[in-house]
Amino acid sequence: MSLLRLFGRRTGRDPSKPQALLPAVLPNVAGEPDPGARLVLLDRLVKLLPELTSEQHGELYRLTVQALETLAHDQVRMVREALANTLKDVAFAPNTVVARLARDVEQSVAVPVLQFCANLTDEDLLDVITRHPTTWSLAAIAQRGRVSEPVAGAIINSGDVHAGSLLLDNSGAVIAEPSLEQMVERAAELPEWQAPLAGRSALPRHLALRLADFVDQAVVEVLKSRTDFDGATSREIVAVTRRRLAYIDAVEPRINPADRAAATMRRKGLDDDAIADAVSWNDRDFVIAALGLLAKVPFEIVSAILDARNAKAITALTWRAGLSMRTAMLLQARMALLQGRDMLVARNGEDYPLTAAEMQWQLEFAGAFAR
């Protein structure tokens, strides 16, 4: 007699009888030759889970979970797909089973669990992001009903642009301020992130102003229309936009960028805002000259540091120039085109993450000696 005839048809009608048959049936689930029968069996097993979680049925619960784990390793993809789609909404889904399904190499098996199963832990999700990252697995996690701060940070650090977009559109995703700051800096090169960032709830004031530095007028209008900003913030957003436009209007093509930087420095206007304005227009030669003047480093060394795309060296150069860590992150993202884990981010949202001795060493290694 097949397992299905022995056990499957009676499940749900008289709970006591299927439970009595479990010890004999469960060890043989994997040996059921018909995949269709295994599909029916897994459905019956899942329906039994709520009845077997008490201490009274501890051994039967263990055997049931063991059988489901066997099905999670089934060689027939259809069986694993069915199990994933059955367990994704089940409150009693065993963690060992769904954790296995979440790591399945088949997208059709892993995605339903990664996106919908509440029984996956943050540790499971972080492990998938770290050890088994794919575009589709990151996208599925980014669309979960709730994405914790550590998981959201890991998705952002992965560098996956599509997953980042989905995360920004997910109101259930908790994105810490340092991660938001990282996204704002990257958004300078990623137009698809700009509008979602501008509309993101609880966007800190300083990040809204930073975003206004480089986005187009349509996104500025989104920032201006936010009701959670006070009048002063809205006016400053407008002022930042006007300053950025004034920068490009004032550029005289016939004047050497180094001379423009020197003139700006004489006017005591060579600061974080001036660098941000130049970066927003991709005025690389002006940025190199400005950093060289402020840090007292030869222009060719500044250029070499940016070309080397070394986050620590760029951070050290920015520190030597007397500029903020915010500017260091901007230079990493826009001038060196770094992203994700390759970037060095601020400590506590605004502090330099390296010690003075570490930054001095970076400058010496790069050959950035004072003139």
Rg (the chain; Cα; Å): 28
pTM assigned to the model:
0.64
- Rounded distance, CA 285 to CA 302, Å? 10
pLDDT on residue 13: 43
For residue 201, what are the contacts with CB-CB under 8 A and spacing of at least 6? 171, 228
| All residues at 6 or more sequence positions from 291 whose CB lies less than 8 Å from its CB, including other chains | 275, 297, 302, 317, 318, 321
User: Do 335 and 307 meet the contact criterion of CB atoms below 8 Å apart?
Assistant: no
Q: Are 333 and 185 in contact (CB under 8 A)?
A: yes
How much is the mean pLDDT over the chain? 83
* Buried b / exposed e along 241-250 (16+ C-beta atoms within 10 A): bebbeebeee
Question: What average pLDDT does the segment 357-368 reach?
Answer: 89
Q: What is the mean pLDDT of residues 214-243?
A: 80
The average pLDDT across 150-176 equals: 94
Predicted confidence (pLDDT) at residue 295 exceeds the cutoff of 80: yes
Domain boundaries, the chain: 1-87, 258-366
- Give the mean pLDDT of 206-229: 80
Query: Does 120 score more than 90 pLDDT?
Result: yes
Mean pLDDT of 247-270: 85
* Cβ atoms within 10 Å of 15's Cβ, excluding its own: 14
Q: List CB contacts of 156: < 8 A, sequence separation 6 or more.
A: 164, 167, 175, 179, 182, 183, 340
Q: Residue 323: how many CB atoms within 10 A of its CB? A: 23
Q: What is the mean pLDDT of residues 168-190?
A: 89
Average pLDDT over residues 351-364: 93
Q: Which pLDDT score, from 0 to 100, does residue 53 have?
A: 58
The pLDDT value recorded for residue 11 is: 44
Give 25's pLDDT tier (boundaries 50, 70, 90). low
Could you tell me the pLDDT band of residue 185, with boundaries at 50, 70 and 90?
Answer: confident
pLDDT at residue 197 tops 90: yes
